[in-house]
Amino acid sequence: MADEVNGAVHPIFKRDPEELMQYLNKQVSVLKEDGKEVTGWVYTIDPVSETFVLLSFMDDKTQLDLIMGPSVRQVSVLDENSETYKKRIEALFRPPEVQSLSEEELEKKKNTLKSWLLKNRLPVQVTGNNGELLSISDALFIEPPYEAENCRSTNEIILGRIQGLIKNMPSDQEEWC
């Protein structure tokens, strides 16, 4: 069996990922093996090591805690309102060029680029958990702030052509509408 090493099954094959996903963007209290308790908002959980990444917001400071999977004894949800700090948490991990733009500016850039790609007969769709990505047939993804450098693809030919198209997009949308 591929998931067995020396007759033992790795814990990743025993635990349902949905069990870990239920904690995302929620405030939890993690009781560690040493008896200490750590409280914070769950940013992510590594499914292999089961390490929790918690964020705590105190006045103007943000604290990040990593609780390694083997030291976690118990996890309790304190606040299930995942929208409370979700935007604040996401903003912490955005690139600086995205942080400087407002939500409206980002949306306008996304829609302008989408229109340009559609005008050039490319099958572009809005994807991502929050509709923040533009994708072309799952072969290329464009992340905020929707510039040529924000294209991601494993196909170098597609990547180069789309980046060239984006670089040649007229700055005045009315020129090509």
pLDDT tens for the 177 residues of the chain, in order = 455 556 677 777 777 778 888 898 899 999 999 999 999 999 999 988 899 999 998 888 889 999 998 899 999 999 888 777 777 777 777 777 776 778 888 899 999 999 999 999 999 999 987 888 999 988 999 998 999 999 999 999 999 999 999 999 998 766 655
The residue from 92, 108, 139 where one domain ends is: 92
Q: Are residues 103 and 169 in the same domain?
A: yes
What pLDDT sits at residue 161? 95
Task: Write phi, then psi, for 76 (nearest 5 degrees).
Answer: -125, 135
Q: 126 is written with which tokens?
A: 């809005």
Query: Which residues neighbour 46 within 8 Å (Cβ) at sequence distance 6 or greater?
Result: 53, 69
DSSP state of 10: P
Domain range enclosing 115 = 96-175
What pLDDT sits at residue 90? 75
Q: Are residues 68 and 100 in the same domain?
A: no
Q: Are residues 83 and 13 in the same domain?
A: yes
The residue from 92, 121, 146 where one domain ends is: 92
Local structure of 77: helix, strand or coil: strand
